[in-house]
Amino acid sequence: MSRRIIPVTDVSAIPDFSAGSSAMPVTPRGLLTDRLSRELRDLRISVTDRCNFRCVYCMPREVFDKNHEFLPHSALLSFEEIERLARLFVAHGVEKIRLTGGEPLLRKNIEFLIERLALLRTPEGRPLDITLTTNGSILARKARSLKDAGLSRVTVSLDALDDALFRRMNDADFAVADVLEGIEAAHAVGLAPLKVNMVVKRGTNDAEIVPMARHFKGSGTVLRFIEYMDVGASNGWNMSEVLPSADVVARIAEHFPLRPLEAHNHAETAQRWGYQDGSGEIGVISSVTRAFCGSCTRARLSTEGKLYLCLFATSGHDLRALIRSGASEATIATAIARIWEGRADRYSELRGSNALPAADPDAPRVEMSYIGG
């Protein structure tokens, strides 16, 4: 099945913020809305493009092999630059920051960054929700230091309990027992509520849905099932490999009766289902079969400082260049505001429709490993 690429960033609509620009400055007031009235509340920051796994749906080894050129350290945003940008995003209304990768725990001294971010406060004086997504490979030995640095909670990616299958999927011969050890360590230090994300790929790991539900039921961990998504161009995405979330729920309900739960907030990506016996809940994230673009409050900052307004974007806005040009706080704050106010991205809602003309099928798409999930 061929993929139709929809351009989701209209760079021509973004004004010039270089030195000498006459763009009207914007003073942060704790609230920004885009062209579809969606507020800016969440910021996802990729701190590295490197990962020690080669998961088939994210960084397949045939693409990310030993000859793949990762970003040099000088290209990465420094912790000081990340903190500076985060402070301005918070002034504009961001309440939650998620650190991603690649594998974020591979970024040296990431605890120092967490300490800096944990000191930030919203305009109302509230602390931020500082979270992190990890493959869990080194979580067992990092959990305590992450918690002490100020991390609120953690999400662990785990796509199978069957060890042989898990090793094939991560393509790094990493044992599932070591990830489970990391989950237990995170629980022990209070990085909670802890979530486990399972990307479901039909024909690959969908037989693990019920075993995963059985394992985490009653554990205090929220297990979430994510539809296999068409992010980037390297994973060979095909719609036939997508298992709809409705089927996931049906499979689990055959073994453990479920009841629908209300969303925590209108921007929540997961539909929540509780076990009828009160022993916890699961979530399903249906970005392919049930688009939630209309409530998306997330901006994404890449490892090298490009601001992306959609997970399925073809291009971003270079905030690193702005910072390193010596731009003032007011100039950067204005750039962030104008970029978000010009946002009209809704790729998942338009996927497969004729609402927009098709773009060049060879156009680059940002990779999950570069921008984070």
Q: Which two tokens stand for residue 347?
A: 């790729």
Cα separation of 340 and 88, whole Å? 13
pLDDT in tens, 73-129: 999 999 999 999 999 999 999 999 999 999 999 999 999 999 999 999 999 999 999
In the structure, what pLDDT confidence band is assigned to residue 20 with cuts at 50, 70 and 90?
very low
Could you tell me which of 291, 208, 217 has the C-alpha nearest to residue 258?
217
Q: What tokens does 3 get?
A: 């993929």
Count the neighbouring beta carbons within 10 Å of the beta carbon of residue 91: 20
In the predicted structure, residue 347 carries a pLDDT above the cut 80: no
142-170 pLDDT, tens digit per residue, is 999 999 999 999 999 999 999 999 999 99
What share of the chain has pLDDT > 90, as a percent?
Answer: 70
Handedness of CA 200, 201, 206, 211 (dihedral sign): negative
What's the pLDDT at 314?
A: 79
Is the bond preceding residue 193 a cis peptide, omega within 30 degrees?
Answer: yes
Whole-number pLDDT of residue 63 = 83
- 144 vs 155: CA distance, rounded Å: 15
Tally of CB atoms within 10 A around 103 = 23
For 171: left if phi > 0, alpha if psi spans -120 to 50, otherwise beta; the answer is: left
Of 22 and 121, more confident:
121
CA 41 to CA 281: how far, in whole Å?
25
pLDDT band of residue 24 (cuts 50, 70, 90) is confident
Which strands form 306-308's sheet, in the order they lie side by side?
A: 258-261, 271-275, 281-285, 222-227, 195-200, 153-157, 129-134, 96-100, 42-46, 298-301, 306-308, 317-318
Report which of residues 11 and 337 the model is more confident about. Answer: 337
Residues whose CB is less than 8 angstroms from the CB of residue 323 and which lie 6 or more positions away in sequence, other chains included: 81, 84, 85, 305, 332
Dihedral of CA atoms 207, 197, 3, 346 in degrees, nearest 10, equals 140
What is the predicted pLDDT for the residue at 286? 87
pTM of the predicted model as reported, rounded to 2 decimal places:
0.88
Highest mean pLDDT range out of 17-21, 133-137, 241-245, 349-353? 133-137
* 176-205 pLDDT tens trace: 999 999 999 999 999 999 999 999 999 999
Q: Which domains does the chain have, with CATH numbers?
A: 11-371 (3.20.20.70)
Helix ranges restricted to H, 171-287: 176-189, 209-216, 245-253
Share of the chain above pLDDT 70, in %: 84
d(CA 146, CA 110): 8
Residues 6 or more apart in contact with residue 320 via CB below 8 angstroms: 77, 81, 304, 305, 306
**Tokens coding 57:** 């749906």
How many other CB atoms sit within 10 Å of the CB of residue 265?
9
DSSP string across 300-360: EE-TTSEEESSTT-S--EEHHHHHHTT--HHHHHHHHHHHHHT----HHHHTTSSSS----
Give the mean pLDDT of 265-281.
89
